[in-house]
Amino acid sequence: MRRVRTILMWAAQGAVALLIVLSIVGAFRGDDKARALFNSPPLVVFWTALGLLLAAGLAVYPRLLRRPAGLAMHLGALLVLGGAMWGSVPAHDLRRTWFGSEKIAKGYMAIHEGTRERRVVDASLRRVVAELPFDLALRDFWIEYYDQPGRPWHLVVVAPVRDGAGHAVDEQQAEIEWEVGQTVPVPHTPASVTVLDYLPHARPAYAEGAEPGVQVTAADGQTVLLPARAGAEAHLQDPPMTVRVVRAFTCLKVRRTDEGLEPYEAEGEGVNPAVELEFIRPDGTRDPRFALALAPGHGRRSGDPDFRYVFPEPTGARADADSRVPAMHVRVSAEGREMTRWLLPGREDSYVSLDLAPVLPPPERRPEGAPAAPPDETPDAPAPSASPDPPPESSAAPEPPDEGDEAAAAPALFLVRPTGPIRDYFSDVAVLADGRPVAEAVVEVNHPLHWPERPPLWRPVEFAKWLVGSGGYHFYQADYDHEAGRYTVLQVVSDSGLLAVWAGFVLLAGGAFWRFWGEAIVSKSERGMRSAECGVRSAECGVRNAE
């Protein structure tokens, strides 16, 4: 037995030394290469051998079972190793092959604002690798920049460059130096612009009595607008039904109760306008639906009319110190034509545009071969462009207009956010089960969403079901639409084995602390108590001798 113990001791020390070397090598190979290295077949053999050595150590060293510190460190190492192997890509592949598991180790989801998605794609964002049993809806996406104190937003013109026949073949841009009350020319156009007012922090202003509502469009084209007030209703012909407003929310949230999921009003905790609807069929069936302002169309089912939450059109802007976007009131004139508009970005938008076609004359058509006027020299300025094509098979944003479309080729004014360094970016997402929101979260870098949620340990039946189902997923903020900020890319990572890894690290840390500090503290305390007892006994003996 002594020989076996010696062999195990040296083998374990050699395995730990090799693990240190592999960790150093992996640290310099990058995430993807290191993952491929540690999941390669030779390393799978190594991890298995290391686990067997740790288990054998408990068998051939019975003393470890009587030493809490040593037992905790060995069990902790086994849990970390076992949890990591259980959550690895090969382990997921084996469970899929042998047991038909549909869970994947990792992937990505590209979701456009206002749409929902359940398909998981690979790193190229093109090949679908799995489907989740629930949907993720992107209600909003925004980017936070480091503050640029005192810097107003840029006013930029983007105008087409035309060929000899007057067709738009390229675009040019220039920043406009503006001041409130001053009229300045718009480069590359015959127009001039006057900034009538500029509010650094603004919100939309609406006409008196204007209110949001729900627009319902039936299959036969019938359209009704229901105010977002409880009790409002309308009757449709195709399909025949009554649509009734049950409740209106300024900030809809969902909580889990003993009776199930309950929607509630969370006023003051954010912005999530919504309306709870009821579709009353001719046979008396009542189907609940929710129209969300930040996720239009998410709850629609087959056979439903189209319904969406709508806001009234703003009539202007008002100052609001809590807003992060400005508003600019401009007057644009050219050759006797004039228009006055508010440039008001949406919440967290990086720009807003104004088409100048209504005040500009149509572009000249020159004879074929006639030289075009050379473009002006323009300084660099941030010019927003259309969002890139979304990943295939996902919900797509509208295609950019064709270059030959004159309306799309008309000059436009852009009010553009000063582009400082990006501080963080956020995805406001909702988890939908059967079309109903069951959870919500704002995902940001290093703050993922986890779903399904892990039941508490004091509910052992639910916890066991969750554990047998191999847990859930973490959704990390991975990337976003760098052109227009209209879609987000979330990394989907399985949490299989993660609980074991966490428990293992707790045991490792606790065992190491107890072995190197706890035992010494207890031993020192016991020696002090024994010394004190000896001192008391000596004093008692001295008293008796004196008597």
Q: In this model, does residue 542 exceed pLDDT 70? A: no
Q: How does pLDDT run across 305-326, given as a tens digit for each residue?
A: 888 888 887 888 999 888 888 9
Same domain as 319, residue 191: yes
Q: Are strands 202-205 and 213-217 parallel, antiparallel or unpaired?
A: unpaired
- Tell me, yes or no, whether 323 and 296 share the same domain: no
Q: Residue 333: inside a domain, yes or no? A: yes
Residue 101, domain extent: 92-145+422-462+469-496
How confident is the model over 13-49, as pLDDT tens digits?
Answer: 888 888 888 888 888 887 778 878 887 888 888 888 8
pTM higher than the cut 0.75? no
Task: Please tell me the predicted confidence (pLDDT) of residue 302.
Answer: 78
Q: Among the three residues 310, 343, 370, which one is the final residue of a domain in this structure?
A: 310
Please indicate, yes or no, whether residues 362 and 226 belong to a single structural domain of this protein.
no
**Domain-located, residue 218:** yes
Same domain, 428 and 396: no
Residues ≥6 apart with Cβ < 8 Å to 367: 164, 165
Is residue 170 assigned to a domain?
yes
Q: Considering the domain boundaries, does residue 504 fall inside one?
A: no
Is the pLDDT at 331 greater than 90? The verdict is yes
Residues 356 and 304 in one domain: no
168 and 222 assigned to the same domain: no
**Which CATH number does the domain housing residue 131 bear?**
2.60.98
Q: Residue 404: is its pLDDT beyond 70? A: no
CB atoms inside a 10 Å sphere around CB 100: 7
Most confident region among 59-63, 179-183, 322-326 by mean pLDDT: 179-183
What is residue 475's predicted lDDT score, i.e. its pLDDT?
95
Q: Is a pLDDT exceeding 70 seen at residue 546?
A: no
Mean of per-residue pLDDT scores for the chain = 80
Residue 197 has pLDDT above 70, yes or no: yes
Q: Give residue for tokens 């300024």.
A: 250
Among 310, 336, 351, residue at a domain's last position: 310
For residue 457, what are its two tokens? 């340990």
pLDDT digits (tens, 9 = 90+) for 114-169: 888 999 999 888 899 888 989 999 988 888 877 666 678 999 999 888 776 667 77
Residue 198, both tokens: 């500029």
For residues 331 and 200, membership in a common domain is answered with yes
- Relative to beta strand 436-444, strand 240-249 is unpaired
pLDDT score of 428: 92
In terms of domains, do 235 and 158 share one? Answer: no
pLDDT tens, residue by residue, 342-379: 998 877 677 888 989 888 887 665 444 444 444 343 33
Task: Identify the pLDDT of residue 245.
Answer: 93
Decide if 525 is inside a domain.
Answer: no
Res 466: pLDDT: 58
Is residue 246 located within the same domain as residue 280? yes
Whether 319 and 412 map to the same domain: the answer is: yes
Verify that 122 and 164 share a domain, yes or no: no
Across the range 244-257, mean pLDDT stands at 85
Q: Is residue 464 scored above 80 in pLDDT?
A: no
Judged against a pLDDT cut of 70, whether residue 401 lies above it is answered with no
Does residue 10 lie within any of the structural domains?
Answer: no
Q: pLDDT value at position 444?
A: 93
Read off the tokens for 34.
């290191």
Domain-embedded: residue 454:
yes
CA–CA separation, 202 vs 348, rounded Å?
Answer: 12
Q: Same domain, yes or no, for 343 and 391?
A: yes
**What's the mean pLDDT in 62-86?**
84
How many whole angstroms separate alpha carbon 334 and alpha carbon 190?
6
| CA 177 to each of CA 38, 120, 342, 385: distance values in angstroms, whole numbers, following the listed order | 57, 46, 18, 21
What single DSSP character describes residue 397? P
Whether 193 contacts 331, CB under 8 Å: yes
Half-sphere exposure of 512 (CA within 13 A, CB side): 7
List, for residues 526-541, the tens digit of each pLDDT value: 776 766 666 666 666 6
Give the DSSP H or E segment for 483. Answer: none
Asked, for residue 40, whether it belongs to a domain, the answer is no
**Percentage above 70 pLDDT, the chain:** 81
Q: Is 23 helix (H, G, I), strand (E, B) or coil?
A: helix
Of 496, 515, 539, the one marking the end of a domain is 496
Asked if 438 contacts 254 with a C-beta cutoff of 8 angstroms, the reply is: yes
What is the total count of domains within the chain?
3
